[in-house]
Structure 1
Amino acid sequence: MKVHVLHTGKVYIDRALAYKEKTLHPIPFTGWLRGKTKKMWVPVSSYLIEHPKGLILVDTGWHEEIRFNQKKHLGSLAYSMFKGDLPEGDSIAEKLDSLGIKSKDLDFVILTHLHSDHVSGLKHVQDAKEILTNEIEWKAAHKRIGYIKSMWNGVSIDTFSLTDIPYGPYKKGYDLFGDESLYLVHTPGHSDGMVSILVKMRNGWLVLASDVGYSEKSWEEMILPGVTTDKKAAYLSLKWLKDFSKRKDCIRVIANHDPAIIPGIIE
């Protein structure tokens, strides 16, 4: 098993989007009327998993359109709250090309949730054999605000139902290959249907924690993300992550937007 940690751009956000704040500002995560001292750049990550049973991409980073027309790509509302940046060579299409991989070579693209910084680059890999997201997230993305449907319009996306698994705050998820080697773990709260990825490496479990927390500080200090659809569920998901991180068979936990994470290969 080999996991490539890829940075597929970065995003300029208010720190209250990453770390929930108590403040008189009613919606600090928007960054509206908040100064530059409260803003931060964080990476937008994707992960390529070389599994014995196939190639799996987790999330897709920014689309190359972010380079030249991001206001149109994001829409005016989202653009007023955060900005994207995608250096040359960092799109998921360019990253895969540098590895000699075409999108049609991907057996699965797993979308942990459907927020823009996780699905923006989806059309770069729409030729993958199967694109999957949780059915709860799929339904939420068509009902709740905060999603940009144009990012997946015209793309064939399949959904999976939650089943009983041994892990997670609700012990619900999906065993991708049915062999207990890679679980999609239901970790809701930041969004209704978000999943984290548990990968069984040689020496233990690697956790790709999506946006359950924005960095190690999140679960160590139990700081929720600034945006949650269910605060109680977000707390339970973060508490599960904290507890799991302390297990002897947990080799590492990686949050999607953690600036401390350096791209590389985990074997």
Structure 2
Amino acid sequence: MSQTKIHVLHTGSVNVDRALPFKEKTLHPLPFSGWLRPNSWRMWVPVSAYLIEHPKGLLLVDAGWHEDMRVNVRKHLGFLTSTMISGVLPPGQSIREQLQRLGYTDKDLDLVIMTHLHSDHVSGIKHVNGAKRIIVSDLEWKAALKDRNYIKSMWEGVNMEKFDMKSIPHGPYKKGLDLFGDGSIYLILTPGHSAGMVSLLVKTDDGWVLLGSDVGYARKSWEQHILPGVTTSMEEADKSLTWLGEFSKRDDCRMVIVNHDPEIAPKIIT
């Protein structure tokens, strides 16, 4: 692989209340849950993953929905979560099937990077358990162990390596990881939606591609500064979204892609 290539993949969709991607000012204590709110306020958004063919390895970012979502959504998500969100995974769209379509298996993956461990990102991780390495930030791992809202059964039996944050030249906190030590891919600490969430900066010949995970949910998130409806820290979410918006305006920023943006179709970026 002599050139970096990014495959934007949709691994099904998730159905949520509109207040989950776009925070609302309301007297409702938990608007993102959708409880006691009209069904007409719900929306479908894609669940994305990214396969990066890089000169130094084959990388996967997040794992999308597991094929168990086709069998029993409530069992896979758990009762409480299934009252707030639902999802679909059409045939051919699991990460296992998409790798196969591209001529790969999980054993071909040099690295799987988990941006964070929310269900719609980690659900399919057992489909790629044969990867050489699977990593997650130490901050996210520690938060997931303490927080009962994480669905730990999704990664049970999966060996995830934890990485510490180091000083880097990018990001709201200038912390993350220079993945290959050559400045071609940075993992950027962008907390707020979750405690240890990372985004990715991927260098291409035409500029940086910023994979913003759930820092925002659509272009209007950073253009209108609308925070996600679910945050672990409003202050951190605000700082991360501000940084993403500022980076998007740089001359060397080719594009910003966030995980659940309905306007982003599956594509290949070279």
TM-score (norm 2): 0.98
Q: Which residue number in structure 2 is paired with residue 137 of structure 1?
A: 140
Q: Which residue number in structure 1 is paired with residue 50 of structure 2?
A: 47
Number of equivalenced pairs? 267
Q: Is 1:78 the counterpart of 2:81 in the alignment? A: yes
| Distance (Å, rounded) in 1 between the aligned partners of 2:179 and 2:151 | 27
2:269 partner amino acid:
I
1:96 partner amino acid:
L
Q: Which residue number in structure 1 is paired with residue 213 of structure 2?
A: 210
CA-to-aligned-CA distance 1:36-58 (integer Å, 9 cap, x gap): 11100000000000000000000
Q: Which residue number in structure 2 is paired with residue 238 of structure 1?
A: 241
- Select which of 104, 113, 118 maps to 2:116: 113
| Distance (Å, rounded) in 1 between the aligned partners of 2:75 and 2:226 | 32
Q: Which residue number in structure 2 is paired with residue 67 of structure 1?
A: 70
Percent identity (aligned) = 64
Q: Is 1:198 the counterpart of 2:196 in the alignment? A: no
| Distance (Å, rounded) in 2 between the aligned partners of 1:208 and 1:146 | 24
Give the Å deviation of 1:145: 2.9
| SS of equivalent to 2:237 | helix
| Distance (Å, rounded) in 1 between the aligned partners of 2:72 and 2:265 | 28
1:209 partner amino acid:
G
| SS of equivalent to 2:146 | coil
Give the Å deviation of 1:98: 0.3
Give the Å deviation of 1:144: 1.4
CA-to-aligned-CA distance 1:61-85 (integer Å, 9 cap, x gap): 0000000111111000100000010
Q: Is 1:179 the counterpart of 2:179 in the alignment? A: no
Q: Is 1:57 the counterpart of 2:60 in the alignment? A: yes
CA-to-aligned-CA distance 1:128-160 (integer Å, 9 cap, x gap): 000000000000001013210000000000010
Structure 1: 5+ residue stretches without partners: none
CA-to-aligned-CA distance 1:198-250 (integer Å, 9 cap, x gap): 00011110000000000010000000000000100000000000000000000
TM-score (norm 1): 0.99
| Distance (Å, rounded) in 1 between the aligned partners of 2:18 and 2:50 | 24
1:219 partner amino acid:
W
Q: Is 1:266 the counterpart of 2:253 in the alignment? A: no
Q: Which residue number in structure 2 is paired with residue 253 of structure 1?
A: 256
| Distance (Å, rounded) in 2 between the aligned partners of 1:260 and 1:185 | 24
The correspondence of residues 12-23 of structure 1 with structure 2, limited to 5 A, is: 12-23=15-26
Q: Which residue number in structure 2 is paired with residue 36 of structure 1?
A: 39
| Distance (Å, rounded) in 2 between the aligned partners of 1:154 and 1:186 | 26
| Distance (Å, rounded) in 1 between the aligned partners of 2:26 and 2:105 | 47
1:101 partner amino acid:
Y
1:207 partner amino acid:
L
| Distance (Å, rounded) in 2 between the aligned partners of 1:6 and 1:104 | 19
| SS of equivalent to 1:47 | strand
| Distance (Å, rounded) in 2 between the aligned partners of 1:126 and 1:15 | 33
Structure 2: 5+ residue stretches without partners: none
| Distance (Å, rounded) in 1 between the aligned partners of 2:190 and 2:178 | 14
